[in-house]
Structure 1
Amino acid sequence: MNPSRRSTIATLLALAVPSALAQPARLLKVVASFSILADLAREVGGSAVEVVALVGPNADAHVFEPSPADARRLATADLVVVNGLGFEGWMDRLVRASGYGGPITVASAGVAARWLGRGPDPHAWQDLANTQRYVLNLRDALSRARPALATEFGQRSAQYIQRLQALDREVRARFDAVPRPQRRVITSHDAFGYFAAAYDIQFLAPQGVSTDSEASAAAVARLIDQIRRHDVRAVFVENIADPRLVERIAREGGAAVGGRLYSDALSPPGTEADTYLKLFAHNARTIASALLGPR
């Protein structure tokens, strides 16, 4: 080979190697089962992750039916994140259909679950202390997937936990202003048990922990009677549920509809509850305002 040609090739190779090393790492593809988990994963992962939610804003994971497109999303994921506690009854079927064989992180692992009858209440994210455990589980899962970024994930999770703790202090101060006898509300389904336990509020609902169940006539009549006898100040509709039943209960019981709460899903981007922190702050503010309002 001509010496000048060898020199040219060597020069090109020398230039190419640093360029290749400088290429940014491929984004970690994370598929979260629903919008709240997706938001938490983005907070911890930052610019290193590309997150997709199977169940999007204002959508109900209880009655979700996966599509072939969802199976394709799962098949190309690096990490799948689920809530656990029986929330995603469709997930095992979807994993089998997709052929996904990668890691699956259960965000609620380590949380002390509430038990209702024979099953756990899956809505553990309705307690900010539980969400801190979610964040730590996400930190660990992302760090296993990208060890070189473990420090960054640790810093981001620590900062986010500080924001969760600050919000918890704010919410507790807000409910401290509400007399305990007034802390009774009605929602569409039993999604706020953890919130109720954390802030000493009684939540009543015509449906159980899943919106897939039908409210019985007896349950509806019982709630209407409770409104009348126990000074229930407000009834709330949920973003994932048909409001007509709750509106009827409020009307017949003589209570006000106190507004819309976000239970199992964020609101669309650019609206009032499009992140988990905004969702939780909105719910606390809406409930407290209704409870302090005139009867």
Structure 2
Amino acid sequence: MTTRRHSLHGLVGLVGGLAAVAWPLAWAQTQDSSTRPLRVVASFSILADLVVNVGGPAVEVHALVGRDADAHVFQPAPADVKRVAQADLVVVNGLHYEGWLTRLVQTAGFKGPVLVCSDGLTPRRLGKDADPHAWQDLASARHYVARIRDALVQARPAQADALRRRASDYTAQLDALDRQTRADFAALPADRRRVVSTHDAFGYFAAAYGIEFLAAQRWSTDSEPSAADVARLIRQLRQQRAAALFAENIADPRLMQRIAKESGAVVGGTLYSDALSAPGTAADTYLKLFRHNAQTLLAGLRRSP
């Protein structure tokens, strides 16, 4: 998917002159606000999937940053401003992940609630900076689901029982996957748990499941890693004998191929860090994304020399 790089400058005027955007039917219907689906705009595809699983038929969800797209470098387009302006609820990650979000909300003139899913979590930190990728730990995903449930119940109290039931069923699936993932990695020898990823998006996964991740880039992908950073990583790989390298669906795979060639490490597959994959593919839901990442890591580590 091509990342949009339009500027927000002047979007207010552009939106006023836009032709009608093709909205889902439920968004355009003029019906009682307490019975129609809640119009939810999520900042990126993973959050949108969580909202869909909790909300079911009670919600109509649109993700600003779509599948296989990178929220770190996303720039909203005029249609995004209109989506936000017509939303009932905006759902975001927080922890400075969506640097473009505040201005987008202001440009849209949105006055409704903004749910920050990470509020209440203790983030991983490097100095003063918080790592925003909390969804890479299933415990954090449970926290996100609880906050989404509460926001939807508040917006649609008549559907509270169904929303709570859906949230409970989905949380049970998260718990089962968490238990299986912990058991799988616990069976792997500790000296075979060092891997390399494109950018530092898996710190929460590493802490939860006992994996050491090295990365060519820090938490954001808004700039390319320097030659010195890549050289440093290659030296570190040779010294510490990382078992495998893993590319990401939002990144250019050539960087991992270069590092593999110069370090002698093996490319173990593709991980999904910040975005779901296309419908019908390996990581088109959050549960499938997490399971795919865990199984890809395990397979790569088990077969590496």
Counterpart of 2:43 in structure 1 is 33
* Among 275, 281, 285, the residue aligned to 1:271: 281
Deviations 1:99-139, CA, capped at 9 Å, x for gaps: 11100000111111011122100000000001000000000
Specify the alignment match of 1:8 in structure 2. none
RMSD of aligned residue pairs (Cα, Å): 1.5
Q: Aligned partners of 1:234 and 1:86: how far apart in 2?
A: 30
- In structure 1, the partner of 2:110 is 100
CA offset at residue 174 of structure 1?
Answer: 1.2
Q: 1:23 to 1:131 in 2, by over 3 A?
A: closer
Residue type of the partner of 1:182? R
Picking from 248, 273, 283, the partner of 1:238 is 248
Q: Which has the higher helix share?
A: 1
Provide the secondary structure at the position in 1 that maps to 2:199: coil
CA displacement 1:206-252 (0-9 Å, x = unmatched):
11100013312222112112222222111011000111111100110
Counterpart check, 1:258 vs 2:268? yes
Structure 1 segments unaligned to the other structure (5+ residues): 1-20
SS in 1 for 2:216: coil
Instruction: Give the aligned residue type for 1:207.
Output: Q
Equivalent position to 2:216, from 203, 206, 209: 206
Q: Which amino acid in 2 is paired with 1:110?
A: G
Which 4+ runs in 1 deviate beyond 3 A? 21-24
Letter of the 1:54 counterpart: L
Q: Is the 8 A contact 2:244 2:304 kept in 1?
A: no
* Residue 13 (structure 2) aligns with: none
2:174 is matched with which residue? 164
SS in structure 2 of the partner of residue 52 of structure 1: strand
Residue aligned with 2:217, SS: coil
Q: 1:65 to 1:24 in 2, by over 3 A?
A: closer
Is it true that 1:121 corresponds to 2:121 in the alignment?
no
Is the 8 Å Cα contact of residues 224 and 253 (structure 1) preserved in structure 2?
yes
Q: Is structure 2 residue 104 aligned with structure 1 residue 56?
A: no
Using the size of structure 1 for normalisation, the TM-score is 0.91
How many residue pairs get matched? 275
Q: 1:23 to 1:142 in 2, by over 3 A?
A: closer
Tell me which residue corresponds to 2:196.
186
Change (3 A) 1:111 1:22: closer
- Which deviates further from its counterpart, 216-225 or 269-278? 216-225
> Structure 1 CA distance, aligned partners of 2:232 and 2:220?
19
Larger mean Cα displacement after TM superposition, 156-165 or 24-33: 24-33
Over 3 Å counting, the alpha-carbon distance change for 1:194 and 1:23 in structure 2 is closer
Structure 1 vs Structure 2: percent identity of aligned residues?
Answer: 61
CA contact (8 A) 1:32 1:53 kept: yes
The structure with the larger Rg is: 1
Provide, for residues 126-170 of structure 1, a one-character-per-residue CA deviation record: whole Å limited to 9, x for no partner. Answer: 000010000000001101111111111111111111100000011
Cα pair 1:235 1:256 within 8 Å, conserved: yes
Select between 111-120 and 41-50 the one with higher mean Cα deviation.
111-120
Q: Which amino acid aligns with 2:138?
A: L
**Are 2:143 and 1:133 equivalent residues in the alignment?**
yes
Pick one of 71, 90, 94 that aligns with 1:84.
94
CA contact (8 A) 1:182 1:231 kept: no
Separation in 1, partners of 2:254, 2:209: 28
Give CA-to-partner distance per residue, 1:65-108, whole Å, 9 cap, x none: 00000000001101000000000000011001111110000011
- TM-fit CA distance, 1:24: 9.1
Query: 2:26 maps to which residue?
Result: none
Select 2:299's aligned residue among 257, 264, 289: 289
Contact residue 69 and residue 275 of structure 2 kept, 8 A:
yes
Q: Secondary structure at the match of 1:159?
A: helix
The answer to whether the aligner puts 1:67 opposite 2:77 as a matched pair is yes
